[in-house]
Structure 1
Amino acid sequence: MDGLSLDDQVCFAVHAASRALDAVYRRELAELGLTYPQYLVMLVLWEREPVTVKELGRSLRLDSGTLSPLLKRLEAAGVVRRDRSPDDERSVEVRLTPEGVRLRERALCVPRRIAEATGMDVTELTGLQHTLNRLTHALAHSTS
C-alpha cells in the first residue's frame, strides 16, 4: 500500500467528520435561527462582551471579510449591535442586545444534543477535542 488510498488520508477523515458534525449543528441551530458561524460568534459574545471585531476575528480565526457579513446578519436579526469604541474611533465593538442575551437560554441544550449525536461519552469527546486542538496548533506552526 502506498498511502494514497482515500481511507488512509487523515485529511479526509477530518473533512468527513466535519461535514457530518456541520449537518447535526445545522439541524440543531435551525431552531435558534442561527448558522454555525453565527453560533460561534454568539458563543464568544455569551462568554465575554463587548468584543472588538478584531478580537472576534482572532478568537474565531476568521478574517474581517468573512466576519463582517456574519455580524451584519446577526445585527439585522436583532441579536447583536456594533458600535464604534469610545476609546478608539477606528475600533468597532460588538455587544449583545437583550434578544441576544435571551437567545443564550434557548441555546443551552445545543451542546448536550451535539454530544448525544456523537455517541461518544464525555471522556472520549474531551480526548478528541484535545487531540484536534493539538493537531490545529501543530499544523498552524508548520506553515509559519
Structure 2
Amino acid sequence: MGKRKEIAANARKEANKTVSFAKLNNVPTSPRKMRLVADMIRGQEAFRALGILKFSNKEAAARVEKLLKSAISNWEQKNEKKADEVTLYVKEIKVDSGAMLKRLRTAPQGRGYRIRKRSNHVTLVVDTLDNNKQN
C-alpha cells in the first residue's frame, strides 16, 4: 500500500472509532427489496424503528432488526452507557448491491433465460440526538 493510501486508511479508521455502526454483508435478497425496508426506518428513533421492523411483514425486516440491535449494542460498548438513558436514532442506513450469481434457466426452443440472483450489503449507523446538535 502506498503512503497516501495508508494515511487515508488510517484517517478513516480513526473516524470510525467515534461512529457506532453495524454492517451486514452478502444478504441473499435483492437490494431493491432491502431498500424498501431501509426507507421505513431511516431517521427514526432507534426503539421506534425496532417496533416498526418487528411488526413488518417483509422478510428483509427481520435481518435489519437484528442489524439494528447489533448497532445499538455497539453504541453501548463504545459509550459505556445504556441505550435507554439517551435518545438513539438511525442516523444513516445504506444498502449497496453485492455479488450477483448468474445462472441460466432452460427455455423453450433451445433458448436459455438468464437468472440473476442478487445480494446486498447493508450499513447502519446509530447516533444520539445530542451528538447531532453539537456537530
**Fold shared, TM-score > 0.5 on shorter chain:** no
TM-score by length of 2: 0.27
Please identify the structure whose Cα radius of gyration is greater. Answer: 2
User: When you count helix as a share of all residues, which structure comes out higher?
Assistant: 1
Relative to the length of structure 1, the TM-score reads: 0.26
